[in-house]
């Protein structure tokens, strides 16, 4: 189990990130016509708008919340006078709010995609697996909220932060910091890391285009000349 733990939480993150980055680059270079979200709005709109809005607001909140919460050095929070316990409660509340929004939106989208005959017929098997994978990952994440209530001192949160920061700074002892972490945290981490693995092979690649669209703010105006 020690070797397995070291592999999953010390080596696997780098494998996942490598597949995520190089897989996305290869997909963009070789299969640009598949680089899309495969919208099914023309087949049936239904609750697509509501589900999309809730899901994407929740996802963006969770993404940036995890980025700031895990990768901001502990010394920064300490210098700002924010205690570990208080930060833990912020993470619980904000994670609960954005996680719930994301889950409600995801359930709406899943119900629409799995129950509408026309949409289900054109949905790839990989996309169905992706939705279920996100559902399980999100469910585990929401479940950790109740586990976090048993660690209100913020100690477990600091261990998770240290693990994430040691991963991104290429320190080999990262896995040792979460040996004692509850199973829910470890399962959520594994499922989340695996999302990076399947990312380049699914419609998730359109996320890159979403971030790249910020470049349109600095582009010159399009000139349309009449005949």
Q: What is the pLDDT of residue 128?
A: 86
Question: Which range is least confidently modeled, 13-17, 36-40, 117-121?
Answer: 36-40
d(C-alpha 63, C-alpha 194), whole Å: 15
Q: Which long-range contacts (CB under 8 A, 24 or more apart) does 158-161 make?
A: 158/74, 158/84, 160/70, 160/185, 161/69, 161/70, 161/71, 161/72, 161/74
Distance CA(79)–CA(185), nearest Å, equals 27
Q: Is 200 exposed, middle or buried (0-12, 13-18, 19+ CB in 10 A)?
A: buried
Give tens-digit pLDDT for 148-188. Answer: 998 888 899 999 999 999 999 999 899 999 999 999 999 99
Whether 219 shows a pLDDT value over 90: the answer reads: no
So what's the pLDDT on residue 208?
A: 84
pLDDT given at position 115: 84
For the segment 7-21, the average pLDDT, to the nearest whole number, is 96
Confidence of residue 45 (pLDDT cuts 50, 70, 90): low
> H helices within 74-223, ranges in order?
74-79, 84-115, 117-122, 125-148, 155-168, 183-198, 206-212
> Is 1 a residue whose pLDDT tops 70?
no
pLDDT band at 116 (very low <50, low <70, confident <90, very high): confident
How far, in Å, CA of 175 to CA of 183, rounded? 14
For 18, residues 6+ apart whose C-beta sits below 8 A from its C-beta are none
Residue 34: C-alpha distances to residues 26, 30, 73, 206 (Å): 12, 9, 38, 10
Cα dihedral 20, 193, 208, 204 sign: positive
Phi-psi region of 223 (alpha: psi -120 to 50; beta: other; left: phi over 0): beta
The pTM (predicted TM-score) of the whole model is 0.85
CB 175 within 8 A of CB 5: yes
């Amino acid at each position: 189990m020690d070797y397995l733990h070291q592999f999953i939480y010390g080596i696997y993150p780098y494998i996942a990130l490598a597949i995520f980055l190089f897989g996305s680059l290869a997909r963009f270079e070789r299969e640009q016509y598949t680089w899309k979200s495969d919208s099914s709005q023309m087949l049936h709109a239904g609750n697509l708008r509501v589900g999309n809005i809730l899901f994407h607001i929740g996802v963006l909140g969770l993404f940036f919340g995890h980025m700031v919460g895990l990768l901001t050095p502990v010394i920064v929070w300490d210098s700002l006078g924010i205690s570990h316990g208080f930060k833990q409660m912020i993470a619980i509340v904000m994670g609960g709010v954005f996680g719930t929004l994301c889950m409600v939106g995801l359930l709406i989208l899943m119900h629409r995609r799995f129950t509408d005959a026309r949409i289900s017929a054109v949905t790839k098997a990989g996309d169905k697996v992706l939705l279920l994978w996100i559902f399980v990952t999100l469910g585990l994440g929401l479940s950790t909220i109740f586990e976090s209530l048993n660690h209100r001192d913020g100690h477990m949160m600091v261990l998770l932060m240290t693990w994430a920061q040691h991963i991104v700074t290429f320190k080999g002892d990262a896995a040792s910091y979460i040996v004692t972490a509850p199973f829910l945290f470890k399962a959520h981490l594994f499922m989340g890391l695996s999302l990076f693995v399947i990312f380049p092979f699914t419609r998730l690649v359109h996320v890159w285009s979403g971030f790249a669209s910020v470049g349109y703010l600095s582009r010159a105006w399009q000139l349309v000349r009449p005949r």
